[in-house]
Chain A
């Protein structure tokens, strides 16, 4: 075993800053205004149910919903023995006549066929909009199917127009119906890592860290998961939630039923990961776990060190601004801060009801604020509160722009939905940090992936803004 170099680690850790995270909720949908979110069905089927490899999902509804959500499923790179129905997409294909005459019989027949063809252990039925309107009793159908075909059927009333979030409904139903049914052998420190990013690269990365410390991830709702793991999910002694969703209700429900601990953590950005891992070790409180945790942190930092410091040297002192939705901006500002960038401004949209009066929350360090004011800048609006050395404002979209002019950040991150149009920043980022592109930044090495993407954005901006076409001179002369 390698001897830990405590001094060096402390030096490295000194580089890290813990940034505040925003607890505000995400934008509410407003009729007639572009909205990036999906619906209850999408969230329930795509986020909560589809990561479970061995549960056969039947969309009870018209063909479209099934078709579109078919690509929404995750892939778990490590699992072997893929079930027969993996990669397929099932639907009851409701037609006009099913809407008029009711779709219960069709659903029952569809479940029977699914059992005959694919022999799943468990089936989940996800309802779409028309189901609730025509009053199909999917719970009764599920009950009948369980009795008749000897298969578990979970009915999910996640109709698209439901006001409650789909993942919440899905999570609750899983806990209520399937959790606590079976016991499986597990490691000494069983945890439930609840995170939608626990799959693919992220999963490999985090699983590796957890296993080295000694944790056993027995269940992972929304992440890489299975029917058996849900059934034995109550065995976890600690629930760690790393998610953008307001899903606390589900872990609290599990906690109430089966005891154990629960807290929110973040595994994006080095400072966040270290804090989260230490908190987990504190929960179990054994010295071997604490020791292992510190050791893994050291190892990870060491393996990162060389590349990280190179990137850090490049980006250190550069200023960054964020004009993003709540979830992404928190992750990205943590990552940027780990690279030594100064986060001059974080503007986040939050829950609002009016259309014309767009509300943003913006926070920035007091020092930066002072600097800008001393050089003759003028604040577009009043400070709302000062907390932990940061000033908070509540302001409109236009005022956010004025702040950007005032602060002149080197790089500005803005989401597609924000449709940000700030021409003066030397580096603009719009698309590169998109999870839909399949980029994941969790874990220690996430910082390197992030730095590479940042570099890419820098190069792109250089290309687009600084190099006009060779013929453009002739153009202007003519």
Chain B
């Protein structure tokens, strides 16, 4: 069982990527579980064809001692098991603690079935507090993929995430598997992300071009794989799946300094202006 956590700046397209990736893998006969670690609980919306019914924390709140696995584990397309951790309303409580509790509970209930090939953690935004690092603590996800684009803020966030990972990598065996470039149509994006990945000590595992079909699929609450199985974009997600499956480069990231990061960005802009 490979446990994989996906991090990245908020709004970068993590959830979309994870769900399409998951669908591509599941279509190919893999058994997997997607755990959404986001209080908004919309990480598995496309897989389930709508928002989650019962989240782990909601269930725990209403029925503290009698949470049953079948109440929180929902089956999505291609038999993908979907779990949403859920969490508090914006501005109250502690979402980080929620993630810790939810993952502990899943473990207790035996959600980590041995027959699973993959477990994906879709974690919101930055690693802002201890709770958001829960999926990469010992015994959980060993591989991490960071979703990024060519925008400075996105790379900045990715670098920050790498700092967090480096911290845990030194004590445990969590490693970065690569960067997934989710294109924002920024000039020189591919090259910039590639250089960034290289300096981080990893590589760009795949680049996903921007395509309107993704939006169409989302409106229909579907992944591209199910909505337009024959489209080019679906094929791209499939190839991401293959790349991930065959990936053997796992490294401890070496985060960039702030100056170096800005320098990279400046270089990229100048490079583009020149040509």
CB <8 Å contact, B64 and A134: no
Give the contact stretch, choosing among B42-50, B91-99, B212-220. B91-99
Residues of A within 8 A of B91 (CB): 135
Residues of A within 8 A of B152 (CB): none
Given A101, A104, A136, which contacts B61 in the complex, CB threshold below 8 Å? A101
Residues of B within 8 A of A102 (CB): 88-89, 92-94
Within the complex, the shortest CB–CB distance from B91 to chain A, in Å, comes to 8
Decide: A101 near B60, CB < 8 A? Known: A96-B101, A134-B97: no
Within the complex, the shortest CB–CB distance from B63 to chain A, in Å, comes to 10
C-alpha gap A133/B98 in the complex (Å) = 13
CB <8 Å contact, B98 and A100: yes
Decide: A134 near B94, CB < 8 A? Known: A100-B101, A101-B88: yes
Q: Cβ of B87 < 8 Å from any Cβ of A?
A: yes
Residues of B within 8 A of A101 (CB): 57, 61, 87-89, 92-93
Interface size class of B (residues with CB under 8 A): 10 to 19
C-alpha gap A95/B60 in the complex (Å) = 11
Residues of A within 8 A of B64 (CB): 95-97
Within the complex, the shortest CB–CB distance from A377 to chain B, in Å, comes to 55
B85-130 CB contacts (< 8 Å) to partner A:
87-89, 91-95, 97-98, 101
Residues of B within 8 A of A103 (CB): 93
**Please, which residue of chain B has its CB at the minimum distance from the CB of A130?**
B94
CB <8 Å contact, A97 and B94: no
C-alpha gap A98/B93 in the complex (Å) = 7
C-alpha gap A136/B94 in the complex (Å) = 10
Decide: A104 near B57, CB < 8 A? Known: A97-B64, A134-B97: no
Within the complex, the shortest CB–CB distance from A103 to chain B, in Å, comes to 8
Q: Cβ of A27 < 8 Å from any Cβ of B?
A: no
C-alpha gap A98/B61 in the complex (Å) = 8
Residues of B within 8 A of A135 (CB): 91-94
C-alpha gap A104/B64 in the complex (Å) = 19
Within the complex, the shortest CB–CB distance from A135 to chain B, in Å, comes to 7
**Please, which residue of chain A has its CB at the minimum distance from the CB of B104?**
A96
Q: Cβ of A99 < 8 Å from any Cβ of B?
A: yes
A90-142 CB contacts (< 8 Å) to partner B:
95-104, 130, 133-136
Within the complex, the shortest CB–CB distance from A430 to chain B, in Å, comes to 42
CB <8 Å contact, B97 and A99: yes
CB <8 Å contact, A104 and B101: no
C-alpha gap A349/B91 in the complex (Å) = 45
Q: Which of A98, A100, A104 has the most CB of B within 10 A?
A: A100
Within the complex, the shortest CB–CB distance from A133 to chain B, in Å, comes to 6
**Please, which residue of chain A has its CB at the minimum distance from the CB of B88?**
A101
Within the complex, the shortest CB–CB distance from A187 to chain B, in Å, comes to 50
C-alpha gap A134/B93 in the complex (Å) = 5
Within the complex, the shortest CB–CB distance from B178 to chain A, in Å, comes to 32
CB <8 Å contact, B60 and A99: no
Residues of B within 8 A of A136 (CB): 92
**Please, which residue of chain B has its CB at the minimum distance from the CB of A105?**
B92
C-alpha gap A133/B60 in the complex (Å) = 21
CB <8 Å contact, B92 and A97: no
C-alpha gap A102/B57 in the complex (Å) = 13
Residues of B within 8 A of A104 (CB): 92
Within the complex, the shortest CB–CB distance from A46 to chain B, in Å, comes to 27
C-alpha gap A97/B94 in the complex (Å) = 10
Within the complex, the shortest CB–CB distance from B41 to chain A, in Å, comes to 13
Residues of B within 8 A of A99 (CB): 93-94, 97
Residues of A within 8 A of B97 (CB): 96, 99-100, 134
Residues of A within 8 A of B87 (CB): 100-101
Within the complex, the shortest CB–CB distance from B230 to chain A, in Å, comes to 43
**Please, which residue of chain A has its CB at the minimum distance from the CB of B87?**
A100
Within the complex, the shortest CB–CB distance from A131 to chain B, in Å, comes to 11
- B-facing mask of A392-435, CB < 8 A → 1, else 0? 00000000000000000000000000000000000000000000
Within the complex, the shortest CB–CB distance from A364 to chain B, in Å, comes to 51
C-alpha gap A135/B90 in the complex (Å) = 12
Give me 5 other A-B pairs in contact (C-beta within 8 A), A95-B64, A98-B93, A102-B94 excluded.
A97-B57, A99-B97, A100-B87, A102-B88, A130-B94
Enumerate the 6 nearest inter-chain pairs by beta-carbon distance, A residue then B residue, closest first: A102-B92, A102-B93, A100-B98, A97-B61, A134-B94, A101-B88
18 contacts between A and B (CB under 8 A): A95-B64, A96-B60, A97-B57, A97-B60, A97-B64, A99-B93, A100-B61, A100-B93, A100-B94, A100-B98, A101-B57, A101-B61, A101-B87, A101-B92, A102-B89, A103-B93, A134-B92, A134-B93
